Amino acid sequence: VAAVGISGRVHHRIEELALGTNCAVVHIPLGIDLGCAEIAREELQADQLRLVWVGRLDEDSKRVSDLPRIADALRGQNLPFILDIVGDGPSRSALQEAVSACDARDSIRLNGWQSASAVRNILAQSAVLPLPSNRERMPMVMLEALACGCGVVASRVSGVEDYEAHPLARGCLWVHDVGDIARAARSVVAAAALPGAQRRSAARALAEAEFSI
């Protein structure tokens, strides 16, 4: 008998269950089909930094209300950007209201659900994925973003925290406490300051090292 943890935090919680000596507990991170490396070099050239968020619009777990707050913080730092929000869910109406009320509303686009190929193209054309979740097990969108050469600015949740100190995370993964809007915005600015080719290369290298299925 064996139990598998997909992140360090999940692995630790399984161990705390004291399942007995007959149950092996192992840590096997999730993996994805990384696709070809060329897609990581397709970021569009533009005067605006392109940000993207992808997932289920659910405030309880994904903390989507932080997205317009991060956008407002970036607007306050005079950073030109576009934030594409891709997905749908129970918090869509509340998010639409929050976007309409924020100062950066003209820089935010709600795109609804998109096909897998469309999502991959958006990720490949984007510089940074902000991921301010309250909780995760192992965020698949982080793996997908890195594989596409998109940097990640994420809250310190299960799965993300395992790679915060990874030697290949420098230049492609920035981590902040849950709800720390100011730190999230500063991290996006730090990501934007890097040459795009450097950020994309670092993201792809981390994905290839850790997340290839």
CB 123 within 8 A of CB 145: yes
The reported pLDDT for the residue numbered 41 is 47
Query: Average pLDDT, stretch 42-64?
Result: 85
Task: Say if residue 151's pLDDT is above 70.
Answer: yes
Tell me which DSSP letter residue 43 carries: P
- For residue 100, give both structure tokens: 């309409």
Query: Alpha-carbon distance 208 to 198, whole Å?
Result: 15
The reported pLDDT for the residue numbered 36 is 63
The reported pLDDT for the residue numbered 202 is 97
Non-local CB neighbours of 151 within 8 Å, separated by 6+ positions: 127, 128, 129, 145, 171, 172, 173, 174, 191, 194, 199, 202, 203
pLDDT category of residue 40 using cuts at 50, 70 and 90: very low
Query: Alpha-carbon distance 46 to 137, whole Å?
Result: 34
- Side-chain half-sphere CA neighbours of 121 within 13 A: 5
Question: SS3 breakdown of the chain: % helix, strand, coil, rounded to 5?
Answer: 40, 20, 40
Q: For residue 191, which of 109, 118, 139, 127 has the smallest C-alpha distance?
A: 127
Query: Alpha-carbon distance 201 to 47, whole Å?
Result: 21
How crowded is residue 110: how many other Cβ atoms within 10 Å of its Cβ? Answer: 16
Query: Alpha-carbon distance 134 to 158, whole Å?
Result: 10
Task: Give the chain's mean pLDDT.
Answer: 92
Q: For residue 154, which of 75, 162, 59 has the smallest C-alpha distance?
A: 162
Task: Say if residue 42's pLDDT is above 60.
Answer: no
CA dihedral sign, ordered 151, 157, 158, 161? positive
CB 93 within 8 A of CB 99: no
Task: Say if residue 62's pLDDT is above 80.
Answer: yes
